Amino acid sequence: MKHVSGITDAKSHRLNGSSSERLLAYAALGVVFGDIGTSPLYAVKECFSEAFGLAPVPSNVMGIISLFFWSLLTVVVIKYVSFVMRADNRGEGGILSLMALVSPGAKEKTRSRLGRVVMYSGVIGASLLAADGTITPAISVLSAMEGLEIATPHLQPLVIPGTIAILVSLFMVQRRGTARVAKIFAPAMALWFAVLAIMALPAIFAEPKILGALNPYHGIKLLLTHGWQGFLVLGAVVLCLTGAEALYADMGHFGRKPIRKACLWVALPCLMINYLGQGAVLLMRGKEVSANPFYGLVPQWGIYPMVVLSTLATVIASQALISGSFSLAQQAVQLGYSPRLTIIHTSEDTKGQIYIPEVNFLLMVACVALVFVFKTSSALAAAYGISVVGTMSITSFLMYFVAVRRWKWKTSSAVFMVAIFLGIDLTFLAANLHKIMEGGWFTIVISGVVLTVMLTWKRGRGALAKRMESQFAPVMSFVEGIQQDRPHRVPGTAVFMTGNARMVPPALRHHFEHNQILHRQVILLSILTEEVPFVPLKEAVEVFPRGEGFYEVIARFGYMQSPKVEKIFRLARLQAGLEVEEARTTYFLGRDILLTDGPERMLRWRKTLFSFLARNSLPATAYFGIPPNRVIEIGMQVVL
């Protein structure tokens, strides 16, 4: 009986686990697959646009659909689902997580060429993702609204104002959080994928010849027949892959298996059926529908409902990119590549749901400007491919270090894998380079600005820390001096924020030298960000008594966590018995006044930019949750 019971329990456990995975896979449809799921709105039509000069004749149609199928199979299924998603940083994914996963140790990183290569690769990838986050909402919503032109040309003047109204409304509701809106994401995207397949099936049944496009021969023939023109059209084919990076970036929210199931069972089959349907309608109607083969699949009576459903799907896709931009910005702050930003948690129950006003405003301005400047989704598509393929290429490059350093592969095996992935990615990238003058310049400008800010902040903070080190003294030497001098001690607790809890921060030294008093309890608080997403609570805080009422408190957080002093001292009390009464605690913070005419080997304009960023950074009181009425700031001039 025990044996039977054990089998029953195991079977029940497997069923529960399987059910949970199915629910997570269903939920993932609403967040992970919004971007790649809305690609059918514009991907096929761009291949037959005037920019490439491909006529919608049967051989070209078969070739394009064949390229779509094999691109999705090799990049999404083989590269991301089979390999990249195995490279999780304690369950988290994304370009910065990948960078943190393969980064050398702290000591090695500052000196080794490998450390710099990994760091620059990750930061460039993050800057390209930032550009992607500005283009995706604009092109997605605009392509959906262009369906109004198909319904009747008289509605064409409403396309741009309607797109801008939807985008502004989307950004305005971000402060309320995505928890409520997210509840409709999964059913809406499930409906969207179902409609993608259903609307395409009649065309496939009417023209089953399109199924021959699954043969790679047709794609290879198109590339060989059309030469340079065929190579350039890969710059439009890559649009079917937009959002592939989201499978990896959102892995921490849903897990590897649910995303794989949603991808292989629902998203990819429905996408391929729709692309085959668009190919079939092109075979039957040619130039008549080449301007927008997606809406060519829709009967006249269904145009308006499809515009509504498409708009909803593109809003969901945009929401996923906006939320991803918030997460990316939070990781950049925690890893030291961005000034402190206002991070507002919009859900008490779900981790990772955050709102960053500064990022939200910049994204809104950029998206609205894009719609005004480019006016059509076809024009925007020229700016789109570079950021997508650039990020994919960097992911492939970093996968080499994952394979060698983490998976312990032989170098030859890792080189073989990465050579295949990079060969595909760099081919797509090369095919997109001609778009630079047509709109790709926007991606380069946005990425360049973000990259400059991130690298300048990292370099400036390092230079500032190095300059401040000369003013530090060991804590134990300071405590020994206190034992000899016996200065006046006042009741309460003084907390001094410092990057190194074992050294006396300049703020404490200045305070003691000028006031000649100390609190009875002095805490040197150092908050460190580890290169992991989350640090377990039991490992987050360490307390080291140093005598004479001095304590070193070292708090460690992951780059997906928000450090707050209230939580730190609560953990310090539970784990080490350190009592900190909020009403009798004073926080001493150093305010650095930066002078940019010093000897630091850094270009003057970068020093000026760093000084500007430092002045406009979110105050430590707000970022660390320090009560403003308990703070004393001590200003110090620092020459860079």
pLDDT tens digits for 39-64?
998 899 989 887 777 889 999 999 99
CA-based torsion, 598, 603, 604, 609: positive or negative: negative
- Residue at 65 is within a domain: yes
Say how far residue 293 (Cα) sits from the centre of its chain: 31
Please list the residues that pair with 530 across neighbouring strands: 558
| Same structural domain, 448 and 507 | no
What is the rounded average pLDDT of the residues 567-594?
87
| Same structural domain, 505 and 608 | yes
For position 104, what pLDDT does the model report? 61
| Same structural domain, 363 and 450 | yes
**pTM of the shown model:** 0.83
For position 438, what pLDDT does the model report? 80
pLDDT tens digits for 255-303?
888 889 999 999 999 999 999 999 999 999 888 888 889 999 998 888 8
- Residue at 615 is within a domain: yes
| Same structural domain, 508 and 424 | no
| Same structural domain, 439 and 536 | no
Is the model's pLDDT at 401 over the cut of 70?
A: yes
Give the full edge-to-edge strand order of the sheet including 550-558. 541-547, 550-558, 517-530, 488-497, 585-595, 631-639
pLDDT tens digits for 304-314?
899 889 888 88
Confidence of residue 7 (pLDDT cuts 50, 70, 90): very low
pLDDT tens digits for 481-526?
888 878 889 999 999 988 877 788 888 888 888 888 899 999 999 9
Return all residues near 541 (Cβ < 8 A) that are at least 6 apart. Answer: 553, 554, 555, 556, 568, 571, 572, 575, 576
| Same structural domain, 127 and 271 | yes
Q: Residue 102 maps to which CATH number?
A: 1.20.1740.10
What range does the domain containing 567 cover? 470-639
Q: How many domains does the chain have?
A: 2
pLDDT tens digits for 204-235?
999 999 999 999 999 999 999 998 888 999 98
Among candidate residues 438, 396, 373, the one with its CA nearest the CA of residue 138? 373
Is the model's pLDDT at 456 over the cut of 80?
A: yes
Is the model's pLDDT at 97 over the cut of 80?
A: yes
Return all residues near 447 (Cβ < 8 A) that are at least 6 apart. Answer: 124, 127, 128, 130, 131, 387, 390
- Residue at 22 is within a domain: yes
What is the rounded average pLDDT of the residues 125-144?
86
pLDDT tens digits for 548-579?
899 999 999 888 788 899 999 999 998 888 98
User: For residue 11, what are its two tokens?
Assistant: 């079977």
Is the model's pLDDT at 88 over the cut of 60?
A: yes
| Same structural domain, 411 and 501 | no
| Same structural domain, 250 and 384 | yes
Confidence of residue 18 (pLDDT cuts 50, 70, 90): low
What is the rounded average pLDDT of the residues 417-437?
91
For position 180, what pLDDT does the model report? 56
- Residue at 522 is within a domain: yes
What is the rounded average pLDDT of the residues 31-35?
85
CB-side neighbour CA atoms (13 Å) of 84: 35
Is the model's pLDDT at 396 over the cut of 60?
A: yes
